[in-house]
Each structure stands twice: as C-alpha cells, then as structure tokens.
C-alpha cells in the first residue's frame, strides 16, 4: 500500500503543485469548483444512504444554540492558522454549517476508502475506526483509564475510542474519556450526540494548550487532525501531548498517508479540491511526522498502513 514516492506530486514544491495552487487562487474558478464539488459530494453521500441534509435539519434546534453558549470558553484564543476557510466554509470550523455537516462528511469519507466493496456507511465507518483501534491494542498502553481525544470534532472518534476501552474497565478504575476541540460549534454537536453521557467532558481549548495537569492521561489521540495543521502547530501539540501523558502512555495518530498510491494518483479535480479546502496540505504532505514525534520525546514503532488511504502511528512516552 505504499509507493517509493514520499508524497504526491500535487503537494509541496513540484510544478504540478504550484499550478494547482495558482488555480485555487483564481477566485472565479475556485468558486465554481467549490459549488460543483459540494453538490456532487452531497448527492453521492445521499445516494449511498448518508442522510446529509436531514442531519443538518435535525441538528438545527434552539437547544443546540444553548449548548454553544454553555461550551464556549471566552478565554480561548484562536490561532491565525485556524481562522481561515476550511472545507469550503468561509468561516472554517467556526460555524454551524461546518458542525452540522461534519458527521455526514465523515461517513461519506469512510465510504470512499473501499470503493470496490459494497459497504453501508455504518460498516465503512466501523471498519475505519476498528483498524486504528487494532493497532492501539497491539502497540498502545496495556492499562487505559484516562483518554484525551484532541480535535474531537463532533465526537465520532471520541465515542468510538470510549466504547472500545470502557467495557474493559474495572469498577475501581472506570475509563474517563475527554473530547477537546477549538470549535465550540463542533463541541455542541458532539455533546448532543453523546446521548448517554458517556464522555466525561467536552472541552473547548487549543490542543497546544489543553489546560490539563502534567501526566493526566494514559492515551491521547489525534484522528484526522494533523492534515489540518501547519507543522509548527503539530509540533506544539506533540509537546503538549507528551506533557499530559503519564510515563508508559501513548499518543496515537490516524490520518492521510502521503505514500498511499490512491492518494498520489487522485484525479486532478479531486486533488485540486482537496488542496483548496485544506489550506495546510502542502505542509502536511511534506512533513516527517515520525521525526517530529521523536523530537518531542516519543518512541515510535513505525507507521502502520491501516487502510488504502490512511496511516496509524503510535508514539509512546517511555515508562
Ligand atoms: C477532521 S476533524 C477531526 C475529526 C475527528 N477527530 C474524527 O476522527 O472524526 C479536525 C478537527 O480538529 C479541530 N482542530 C483543528 N486544529 C485544532 C487545534 N489546534 N486544537 C484543537 N482542535 C483543533 C477542528 O476544529 C476539527 O474539529
């Protein structure tokens, strides 16, 4: 599932990458691409059973707006890199539309991983998460009581983690899982989805400055977060994860694999769209995550290619 090429030609300093960047910076062309891509994405998702528009209608309630007020920490400072358009939303992750569409977009994303198979969106999502959890079982800490899911978005990753570890808990030491995100809109939706109150806390903070004490967690995860970050932010978050982990604990990452032949061979329309909606792509696809983890003090056992598009990395803090 890898090629000898370390990254796609459409990212970094290659000529193709520069051409794509120029196309993205042409406003009329970008607006047209964005509109068409949105329509295709929603239509394809709904054709595959993902209730995209209905989900947005269902989530848009007065209670949701109250949750936003309750969850927002007015002291949070948004870094500049976060206050740019993401995923074709001009307010990035800081708006209701991004939060309402996050779950259907996540379900649709998992369906694209195994195009040759006829999977329901639920089965594809479970398989995606399970592949990550299997690596965690093999390489992660033996005892997991306290879990921090950084960049938890609307809580899909947080709930899947919690439900993996909670059944193993002893009554004396129950599993406590925390979801943290910079977007209070995402957190409001996450809290509404957590209908059984399984998650101990939904925290509005930057992953670079979580506010938790040293050595508070056994496991910290970042699922589909690093590709949304400039490398300086990733490095700062790795240092923060190391600080809040107990010795013997682990930071586990799941994200796009720059060496994936599928990602490297994406059709031009798709990679142009991907770059245009994810502003830190060039930084992510040319960044050595493993080296950055080692620099932050972690030990790693190498990358695991958990599906045709994604990689998992488990980095341990020495016990
Ligand atoms: C693609 S979503 C993650 C999805 C989720 N973890 C999952 O696997 O379903 C990326 C999330 O990271 C959050 N994020 C980005 N930068 C962040 C930062 N510096 N601190 C905290 N959250 C951040 C965004 O607000 C967004 O909700």
Tokens found for residue 153: 């978005």
Question: What pLDDT score was predicted for residue 8?
Answer: 80
> Does the beta carbon of 109 sit less than 6 angstroms from any atom of ligand 1?
no
> Does the beta carbon of 152 sit less than 6 angstroms from any atom of ligand 1?
yes
Which residue CA neighbors atom 23 of ligand 1 most closely?
151
Residue-wise DSSP of 196-211: T--SSEEEESBTTB--
Question: What pLDDT score was predicted for residue 187?
Answer: 98
- Which parts of the chain fold into alpha helices (H)? 15-24, 27-47, 52-59, 62-71, 96-111, 121-139, 156-165, 184-193, 231-244, 261-264, 268-277, 281-285, 289-295
CA of 152 to the centre of ligand 1 (A): 6
Which residue CA neighbors atom 14 of ligand 1 most closely?
151
Atom of ligand 1 nearest to the CA of 158: 6
Question: What pLDDT score was predicted for residue 34?
Answer: 75
If one residue of 89, 191, 225, 311 were mutated to test the ligand 1 pocket, choosing by the most ligand atoms within 8 A of its CB, it would be 225
Question: Which tens digit of pLDDT belongs to each residue from 21-58?
Answer: 776 677 777 777 777 778 888 999 999 999 999 999 99
> Does the beta carbon of 186 sit less than 6 angstroms from any atom of ligand 1?
yes
Burial 165-184 (b: 16+ CB within 10 A, else e): beeeeeeeeebbbbbbbbbb
Q: Which residue ranges in the chain fall short of pLDDT 50?
A: none
Question: What pLDDT score was predicted for residue 1?
Answer: 53
Question: What pLDDT score was predicted for residue 306?
Answer: 97
Please, what are the domains in the chain?
15-316 (3.40.50.150)
> Does the beta carbon of 219 sit less than 6 angstroms from any atom of ligand 1?
no
> Does the beta carbon of 105 sit less than 6 angstroms from any atom of ligand 1?
no
Tokens found for residue 14: 């290659």
Question: What pLDDT score was predicted for residue 299?
Answer: 97
Question: Which tens digit of pLDDT belongs to each residue from 177-193?
Answer: 999 999 999 999 999 99
Phi then psi for residue 206, to 5 deg, are: -85, 140
Question: What pLDDT score was predicted for residue 304?
Answer: 97
Which residue CA neighbors atom 10 of ligand 1 most closely?
225
If one residue of 100, 151, 180 were mutated to test the ligand 1 pocket, choosing by the most ligand atoms within 8 A of its CB, it would be 151
CA of 171 to the centre of ligand 1 (A): 31
CA of 10 to the centre of ligand 1 (A): 24
Question: What pLDDT score was predicted for residue 238?
Answer: 98
């Amino acid at each position: 599932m890898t090629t000898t090429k370390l990254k796609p030609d459409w990212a970094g300093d290659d000529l193709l990458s520069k051409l794509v960047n120029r196309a993205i910076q042409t406003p009329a062309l970008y607006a047209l691409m964005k509109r068409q891509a949105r329509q295709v994405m929603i239509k394809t998702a709904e054709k595959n059973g993902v209730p995209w528009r209905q989900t947005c209608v269902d989530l848009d309630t007065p209670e949701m707006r109250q949750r936003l007020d309750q969850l927002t920490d007015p002291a949070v400072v948004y870094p500049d890199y976060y206050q740019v358009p993401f995923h074709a939303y001009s307010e990035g992750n800081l708006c209701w539309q991004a939060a309402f569409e996050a779950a259907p977009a996540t379900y649709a994303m998992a369906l694209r991983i195994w195009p040759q198979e006829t999977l329901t969106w639920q089965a594809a999502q479970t398989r995606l998460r399970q592949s990550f959890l299997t690596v965690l079982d093999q390489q992660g800490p033996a005892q997991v009581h306290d879990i921090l899911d950084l960049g938890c978005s609307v809580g899909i990753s947080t709930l899947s983690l919690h439900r993996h570890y909670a059944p193993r808990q002893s009554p004396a030491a129950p599993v406590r899982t925390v979801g943290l995100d910079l977007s209070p809109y995402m957190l409001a939706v996450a809290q509404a989805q957590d209908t059984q109150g399984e998650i101990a806390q939904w925290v509005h903070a930057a992953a670079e400055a979580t506010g938790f004490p040293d050595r508070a967690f056994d496991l910290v995860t970042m699922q589909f977060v690093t590709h949304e970050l400039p490398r300086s932010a990733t490095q700062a978050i790795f240092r923060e994860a190391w600080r809040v982990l107990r010795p013997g604990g682990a930071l586990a990452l799941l994200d796009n694999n720059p060496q994936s032949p599928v990602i490297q061979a994406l059709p031009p329309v798709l990679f142009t769209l991907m770059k245009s909606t994810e502003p830190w792509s060039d930084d992510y696809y040319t960044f050595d995550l493993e080296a950055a983890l080692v620099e932050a003090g972690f030990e790693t056992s190498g990358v695991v290619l958990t599906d045709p598009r994604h990689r998992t990395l488990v980095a341990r803090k020495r016990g």
